[in-house]
């Protein structure tokens, strides 16, 4: 495994992939199938199992009370049972919403918070499944 202490982690990862002649696979919104709610812990874990070493592109938005939640859109309407702008809702209001997958499947999960998604990523340890590990996984306390 290449040492990357002298370069930003993401740039070093792509340098390693390019130099090794490899291919980097990215899961947009951490999703690898239409029955998974985007930016959900379930999607992160399913993608990690289906595509070991995949890059997970995720998005976070601040709630009115300053908490980070995983959400691609500025509003809750398309991907959850909630309505309105995330920035206009408190964390409790956002967590009351349930995630909806692109195929219409309603889940029991709320949009993950910063600590929840950091734990989901580190619990599956998808970072350790590539020969070009750019950095250690985040921890639940991050």
DSSP line for 53-112:
T-EEE--EEE-TTS-EEE-SSSBSTTTBS--SBGGGS-HHHHHHS-BB-TTSPBPSPPPP
Q: How large is the greatest C-alpha to C-alpha distance in the chain, in angstroms?
A: 46
What's the pTM value of the predicted model, to 2 decimals?
0.67
Six token digits for residue 30: 């951490």
Burial of 64 (0-12, 13-18, 19+ CB in 10 A): middle
Tens of pLDDT along the chain (142 residues)?
444 455 566 677 778 778 877 777 777 777 767 888 888 888 888 887 887 777 777 788 899 999 989 888 899 999 999 999 999 999 999 999 999 998 999 999 999 987 765 544 443 333 334 445 444 444 344 3
| Annotated catalytic residue 72 | yes
| Annotated catalytic residue 83 | no
- Domains, the chain, ordered by start: 25-128 (3.20.20.190)
Considering 64, 72, 98, 114, which one is annotated as catalytic?
72
Six token digits for residue 2: 């290449």
Neighbouring C-alpha atoms within 13 Å toward the C-beta of 28: 2
CB atoms within 10 A of CB 71: 27
Contact 86, 110 (CB under 8 A): no
Considering 18, 28, 83, 131, which one is annotated as catalytic?
28
């Amino acid at each position: 495994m290449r040492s990357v202490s002298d370069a930003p982690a993401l740039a070093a990862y792509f340098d390693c992939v390019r130099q090794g002649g490899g291919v980097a696979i990215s899961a947009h919104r951490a999703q690898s199938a239409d029955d998974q709610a985007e930016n959900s812990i379930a999607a992160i874990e399913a993608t990690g199992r289906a595509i070991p070493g995949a890059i997970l592109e995720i998005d976070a938005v601040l709630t009115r009370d300053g908490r980070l939640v995983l959400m691609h859109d500025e509003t809750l309407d398309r991907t959850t049972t909630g309505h309105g702008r995330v920035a206009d809702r408190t964390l409790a209001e956002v967590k009351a919403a349930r995630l909806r997958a692109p195929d219409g499947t309603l889940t029991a999960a709320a949009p993950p918070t910063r600590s929840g998604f950091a734990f989901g990523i580190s619990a599956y340890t998808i970072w350790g499944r590539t020969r070009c590990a750019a950095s250690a996984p985040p921890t639940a306390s991050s």
